Structure 1
């Protein structure tokens, strides 16, 4: 009986020790896991085979947050009934140039709801990435630096997601273009195949336009270095889903749709611009500058608008390479990775405004000539008739419909040397496993940061 009593006491002692010590060990383990490689955590987590990524797109027109959920093979999993959680707010961070703290706080509602989507136990190992694009690039002085620092403080003090200071940054041109390429080819199921089976991408944003496509290894070895200050190289190597790609990408700052409006208006000063709809009188503000918006006394002219737009593209800029696009930029040389081209963002939106695509479809084949034909119709329309003719056109875009359509045509044909009769795919969303997912760079960023291979574009 005495022996049994001592055994019982010993057993109780052992149970007590484990009961008290185990939570403290778990806490130390969690603290340690916050400080080791995020890629290791995301790939080999013992608590779950699922991986989440929270990506903020801080663009020139507003801020968006995307939350993605993947399995161990980087296949998208549903979040509720959708394959992504998405939330947006406006204006963008650049609108808070005088108040960095207010800029950061504009993201707080998005952050709170995005974090709530991620299971609590996975938050410490779920990366949060804030990628600012053209809007912040254009701010003067150290304004963008102060805004980004305020965002870092927000994430550090008010979020439980995995955060690193360098993950809050202005995306360079290569990152922005390459992430969009990854996103679209991921949704199409092309990643993991030969580069010739992938599609090229042109993404027209508000402040910049990006082109990206895969090229051959031989072409990559002969690729020139960029002579432009903002870019060190045109081609980088990426390993995705077990396949090595040599990716050409370039971002043309100030050639986004909102930026080029200012550029085209600036070329004619206050004397009237042939791209502005007849009868309109007003102003346009972009990047702190105000431009007069009105047609010349002779009226809107598509012929003159084409000439002004081609001048804005700087087609005659000195280019030291054999194959060039515009503004002195190497084209990448073309090839199989560019033969099938997807055009996104404002390429689709403007077509929808002009009623040249059925808005019930989110992806459509279109020829550059269609943009020009639509421009001829828009340029011949008076301000008093334009709303009735184009019911999907917002008031703020109304005076620029002629200009925008001319620019889309000129950018594709004169800028990127696309045949006017060649079909491209204008895309807003892409069907994926029975659902439609937005074609946007944050998905590509999420795939990149969660890839088992080195994520050299993020680090």
Structure 2
């Protein structure tokens, strides 16, 4: 009876090591798989947000941007998340009622609060850039311009964002950042080609100023028109100039001032459709440094009558652009140096909206077609124009002037021709983002925001590889032990059967 009991004890002794080693092997495999899954799992990409308020001369717009926390070649990959147009006029219009300027932004700032995750409000930078409207007000009344900006800053500070302040953007900055925007959106700044890739020149037309910016094929002679940027590891040397007072709204005021006859209460304007009439308050309408003499008219109210003469309108528009002097090898107008335009250009803001009105079905119609469309509209009576178009009176009444002004500015001002007209692309949006200076501004500012990498992996690469090697070796040895123990057990059982 002793021999069977001894055989059972031997089998039990063989089973226990095999069980223990098997359990240990299973644990090692589970740990190895778990570490690998956790380490190789995709890490969610963290986004950063930014808000830019474009306080223009005629209106204010808010743009919301986001970009990955990590950056490419020291420049963030910024995309437009949303936008909001502030109701009412530009903030410069509130210069006599500064307390109203900030609250006018409430609806759009509230939209930004909704669009950006609440946990990131405090780390989201907000910038307000004021353009030609505030540049003109600063010339006219610098104390009031400063009060206006301070009132706006106080209001925005009520929001939980990281408000970085409100400032007046220079004309050169406005032009340069517009250039960055369109070239970024077109993918021209990230090309992996040797040398400097082809870029689009930028043509921006606002209410108070107009800008031209491009990379010339020659050295910029005037230092004040030279701009330098480094983006995505590349250097760009550009020509840029901003013409204050030559935005569409201010140019119309200058034209009406030139048409004024002293001590008479009527202005006959060939750039308004025949039959159109309106009254203007002299002090309210000519309220800018661009038209200083008109505000001193003896007549407080003037009657403007449209005569609808397209040829005369074109002559008066071109008369706004002075070509009498040029001390450089080449100039645009008013004696301002400008290299010869070359390459392709993107024209946005008012350029787009004006040409879109005269578009005859082609996205970028020829110069002759554009001239013909402007001529046809200017020849319409006001009754015919209001019957043909369902547009607000202000914009419709100014379209004859606007058409001639765009043509005059591009042809007579910047020296484009019938041969180079087709190089201009009139654009509103590119890949869902608005063309304008704000995205370029945000791109430039991301260089000053510390880059954050994606959240770190649980283990460093060295630690992960070491753990995988050690546990893999342990698993192999344990598996080998299981095989040996199983073999010994089978041999013992076979031997017991034979005995």
Q: TM-score, normalised by structure 2?
A: 0.70
Using the alignment, how far apart are the partners of 1:356 and 1:162 within structure 2?
A: 46
Q: 1:371 maps to what in 2?
A: 370
Aligned mate of 2:317, from 303, 306, 309:
309
Using the alignment, how far apart are the partners of 2:285 and 2:153 within structure 1?
A: 27
Pick 1 or 2: higher relative contact order, CA cutoff 8 A, min separation 6.
2
Give CA deviations for 1:26-76 in whole Å, capped at 9, x if unaligned. Answer: xxxxxxxxxxxxxxxxxxxx9974221100011122111101011233334
Aligned mate of 2:49, from 11, 28, 52:
52
Shift in CA distance, 410/101, structure 1 to aligned 2, threshold 3 Å: same
Shift in CA distance, 292/248, structure 1 to aligned 2, threshold 3 Å: farther
Using the alignment, how far apart are the partners of 1:357 and 1:102 within structure 2?
A: 42
Aligned mate of 1:278, from 274, 277, 281:
274
Aligned mate of 2:336, from 329, 342, 357:
329
Q: 1:264 maps to what in 2?
A: 255
Shift in CA distance, 145/357, structure 1 to aligned 2, threshold 3 Å: farther
2:354 matches 1:350: yes
CA RMSD of aligned residues (A): 2.4
> Contact between 1:51 and 1:70, CA under 8 Å: does it hold in 2?
yes
Using the alignment, how far apart are the partners of 2:184 and 2:352 within structure 1?
A: 19
Which structure has the bigger radius of gyration? 2
Give CA deviations for 1:321-343 in whole Å, capped at 9, x if unaligned. Answer: 21110122111x136xx410111
Q: 1:293 maps to what in 2?
A: 304
> Contact between 2:308 and 2:381, CA under 8 Å: does it hold in 1?
no
Residues 166-315 of structure 1 aligned to structure 2 (within 5 Å): 168-193=166-191, 195=196, 197-215=198-216, 219-220=219-220, 223-225=221-223, 233-269=224-260, 270-284=266-280, 286=285, 288=287, 292-295=303-306, 299-315=307-323
Q: 1:427 maps to what in 2?
A: 427
Task: State how many pairs are aligned.
Answer: 374
The runs of 5 or more residues in structure 1 that have no matched partner are 1-45, 78-82, 226-232, 359-363, 455-459
SS of the counterpart of 1:75?
coil
Shift in CA distance, 59/163, structure 1 to aligned 2, threshold 3 Å: same
Between 1:87-96 and 1:182-191, the stretch displaced more is 87-96
- Per the TM alignment, residue 196 of structure 1 is displaced from its structure 2 partner at its CA by 5.1
> Contact between 1:277 and 1:401, CA under 8 Å: does it hold in 2?
no
SS of the counterpart of 2:219?
helix
Using the alignment, how far apart are the partners of 2:414 and 2:59 within structure 1?
A: 28
SS of the counterpart of 2:119?
helix
Shift in CA distance, 376/103, structure 1 to aligned 2, threshold 3 Å: same
Task: Give 1 or 2: higher helix fraction.
Answer: 2
> Contact between 2:308 and 2:380, CA under 8 Å: does it hold in 1?
no
Q: 2:476 maps to what in 1?
A: none
2:159 matches 1:159: yes
Q: TM-score, normalised by structure 1?
A: 0.76
Give CA deviations for 1:104-152 in whole Å, capped at 9, x if unaligned. Answer: 1212232232133222333333221101111222223122111101122
Q: 2:438 maps to what in 1?
A: 442
Shift in CA distance, 444/190, structure 1 to aligned 2, threshold 3 Å: same
Using the alignment, how far apart are the partners of 1:344 and 1:260 within structure 2?
A: 18
> Contact between 2:359 and 2:365, CA under 8 Å: does it hold in 1?
no
Give CA deviations for 1:333-357 in whole Å, capped at 9, x if unaligned. Answer: 136xx41011111122112333435
Using the alignment, how far apart are the partners of 1:281 and 1:420 within structure 2?
A: 35
